Each structure stands twice: as C-alpha cells, then as structure tokens.
Amino acid sequence: MCGRPGRTLDPRRMVCRYPARYKTGRHRSQHPPFPPAASPARAPDVQPTSRIDIDLDAIEHNVRTIRALTGASVAAPVDAANTGGAPDPALARQGMLCAIIKADAYGLGAPPIARRLEAAGVELLGVYTPEQARDLLAAGVTRTAILLLMPSYAADLDGLLLAPARAGRLHASLHSPGQLESLARRAAQLGVRLPVHVEVDTGMRRGGSRPDDAATLVEMVASSSSLRLAGVYSHFASADRDDATTRAQAAMFEAWIDGVRAHIPQDCVAHQSNTFGVFRARALHRDMVRVGLALYGYALEEAHDAQNFEHREHAASLRPAVHWETRLIHATRVEPGERVGYGGTWSAQRPSRIGLAPVGYADGYPLAISNRAMVGLRDASGTTRYAPLVGAVSMDQITIDLTDLPETCAHVGASVELVGVDREAPTHLPSLARAAGTSTHELLCRMSPRLPRRYFATDLARAEIEPRDQRLSTSVR
C-alpha cells in the first residue's frame, strides 16, 4: 500500500505511482534549499542534518479560520426560571479559544508559537504539566493566562508559577476533592483566589470526575474563599469518528450544567470541543473551544467520518504550518538483484541509483514507513520531483531511489523534502502518518528535539520572536 487511496503499487519496483504533476515539475517549494555542500578542499561549516520550518503566518491564519466558526457560536441554554427567558449569563461568553500547546506545541516549539498566538489574541494557552507552563514563563510568555490540564497540587505552585498564580493568570484543572483541598491550602497561603476549571468525565474515562462527583467539586469551589470557578469542561472521546457518541457526550455535559447552574458564577466558561468538535458542529462549541491539531493546519485528514462535519470547507482551508527538509549527502549505483538496507527489504529490478539522506528514526522519521513513502527533491529553480523511499529506515539514514530523476535535482547537496505543506503531495504529513499506521499528532510529537526549528513570519517583530540558542534561527519571507 502507498498510504493514500487511488495510488497503486508497482510490485516490480516498489514505486508509488502519483499524479503526473509530481514528475513534471509543477510543484514549487516556497522554502529555501539547504546551502550548497561545502567544497571538500576546506573544512565545511557545521550544518544540521535536517531542519523543521514552522510557518507562523499559517498558524495565525488557522486561528482566524477557527474564529470564523466559534465567533458566532450558538447561545448557551436558557434557564427561563432564573433569567426570564434570556441566555444564562454564567455560560453566555462565546467565541473564546484555548490554544493547546502541550508537548512543546506538539513538538514544534512552544515559546515562539505561544508568542504568535498571544499576538493573535487567544484567550488561554493550554498545557498539560506545570513544567510546560514554567518553560513558557521562562521564555517570556506572560501576557496570556495558562491552563494546566494535568491534576496539579500545592507543591506545583512555586517558583516561576507564583507570579501568574498571584496575578490570576494561572488556571488549574480540578479532578478530585483531595486535589481541590491541596490547591485551596496553597492559594490561601499565597493570599489569592486561584482560578480553577472542574473537569467532568462524560465518557473519556481518563481525567476528571464522574458527573455526581464533579457536581460536588463545583459546590466545594463555590464555598471556598481561596478558589474561583473559572471554568467547567469535558472532553470528547471520539469526535474524529463517531457523531452519535460525540453528541451524546455533549448532551450529558449540558444536562450536568443544568444540575449545577445555581453554583456557577457569571464569568465561568464552559468548554468541551477539541479540533474535531469545532468542525463537526457549531452546536458543540459552547463558550470556548480547545484546539491543538488544527492550529498547525491539520484536521480533515484525521477524521474518519468527515462527511458528517458541518464545516468541512473551513477545515479544508486550514494551512499546514510544518515543512521538514534534509539534503542528499551521497549516491551510489545498485545492480539488479542487489538488496538495500537492513533485512534487504527492497531489491533493485534494474540498474539503479540510490541516494542517502541523513535522517532516520532517531529524528522521528518512522521506521514503519520503510518502503511506503515518497520524498521530494528540489532543483535550483525550486521545482520539486518525487522519488520513493526504499529499504528500511535506519537510525540516522534513509535511502531513496533516484533512478528516474534528472541530475538537476538528484545530485549530492540537493534539498530533500520529508514533510511538505502541499495537501496533494505525497509528503503531506497526514499521508505519511497513514502510511506508517499512526496519527499526525504522534508524528509531530516524535520529531526529535535535536533538530533545529526555524520560524517564518511576515512580521517577526509583531510575533516577538527571538533565537533561544545557536540551533534556532528566524527568517522573514
């Protein structure tokens, strides 16, 4: 299998057949190639074996796309007995966005991305661990409130987290009475009312409390002098594939809110939707949505029942923000019948030219994609042509069948695209994830920290991007 529908495998050569435009040079990259290989007569400058480019403008475009949907969210349920038929003000704040940047913004570099998201006006930054929050604060991300999704305790509120806690810019998730009591004691010591969000388990069976227990937590927060109920939330378990289950979870959450409404303050925010909930139905948005994957330009490709999404067009308009590139460092001849790589999983059916690129599973390029992917090679004019990955992915190397490519793009030093931004190209990240039998989320997070990340933006000053070490550079295009 080639990992994408409509593509056939030639059993004689193990080559994926793709649309003709991939061989005719109609795809042109907007990313500059690696610098030419240094002359062997002098010591070369140290170059990274590969680099990941992140388009910050694309991320801001994706924020605007999400805002276009959530800004006109449906009204909160009406409680006629308490509000005279008007929407309940406790849950009427709509269109808010919590940008999920846990796991170092899905492996792409949380601080630069968070600064761009701050400039775009997101209301909350969602991380999982206190350490992830500290990393943001240490990098100067201090204007936007941070939501800790992991159950946190008194001992977590120290060091860099003290200032945002005192300023009301650190929000904690509540999962249990013991955690509540621990945070309440610490907040009292600090002399603050700590904003908290109670998580209701409506079917995920992971974090949070079952509805009855979550209702008890809400009542406990209401009676606390050191905690403030800033939010109530739940999480969809199957919003990427199961419409009925997703809507059942939404109905359970709404019924739970009705039961605790008397204890919910006016400025409390209700949130349940993730990326797939956003594009599935507007009725699922509530006051705020929590979005991770869509920020980076991916959604529709990961959905198993995209035909049921109300907002397919919006999802299709997301711009992929990630481009991963290496270079060709060696080429060799292989004769018919000779095998390539560990285990000899690919053998030449004709005289072949095999190229070597310095990327492997240690960088996060998956072993499972061996013999199942294509890479793009770019010539000096920016034209990209595609060639198959052959043989097993090694720890630090991959081998590419260059036989059908012209020398203009298949020479040592040529740029090699591993992940591109063209949805129709074979290097589209969700296509690689399918070929590897995994998800786009996982491939993003598996990109090794040893690889330099480079950030592109039209106006870097507005995004307040600065290099953090010698491996990080920023560019304006």
Nearest to 332 by CA among 412, 404, 274: 412
As a whole number of angstroms, the distance between CA 226 and CA 223 comes to 9
Q: Are 297 and 58 in contact (CB under 8 A)?
A: yes
Rounded to an integer, what distance in angstroms lies between the CA atom of residue 463 and that of residue 59?
Answer: 11
Q: How far is CA 366 from CA 9, 201, 299, 377, 463, in A?
A: 20, 34, 21, 19, 32
| 342 flagged as catalytic | yes
Q: Are 325 and 34 in contact (CB under 8 A)?
A: yes
Nearest Cα to 356, choosing from 372, 377, 338? 377
Structure tokens at 202: 């409506």
Beta carbons of 146 and 136 less than 8 angstroms apart = yes
Using N-to-C axis directions, what is the helix angle for 211-222 and 177-190, rounded to 10°?
20
What's the helix, strand, coil split of the chain in %, to 5? 35, 20, 45
**Max Cα distance, the chain (Å):** 85
Strands (DSSP E) along 292-444, which ranges?
322-327, 330-334, 339-340, 346-347, 352-357, 374-378, 384-390, 398-401, 415-419
Catalytic: which of 22, 102, 233, 455?
Answer: 102
Q: Which two tokens stand for residue 75?
A: 């009204």
Which amino acid makes up residue 279? Answer: F
- According to DSSP, the residues that pair with 334 across neighbouring strands are 352
- The rounded Cα 197 to chain-centroid distance in angstroms is 23
Catalytic residue status for 23: no
What amino acid occupies position 324?
A: W
Amino acid, single-letter form, for residue 7? R
* Residue whose entry in the numeric block shows the structure tokens 């594009």: 279
Strand 374-378, strand 339-340: pairing: unpaired
Q: How many Å apart are CA 412 and CA 359, to the nearest integer?
A: 15
Distance between CA atoms of residues 323 and 30, nearest Å: 10
Any idea which residues carry the catalytic annotation?
A: 102, 342
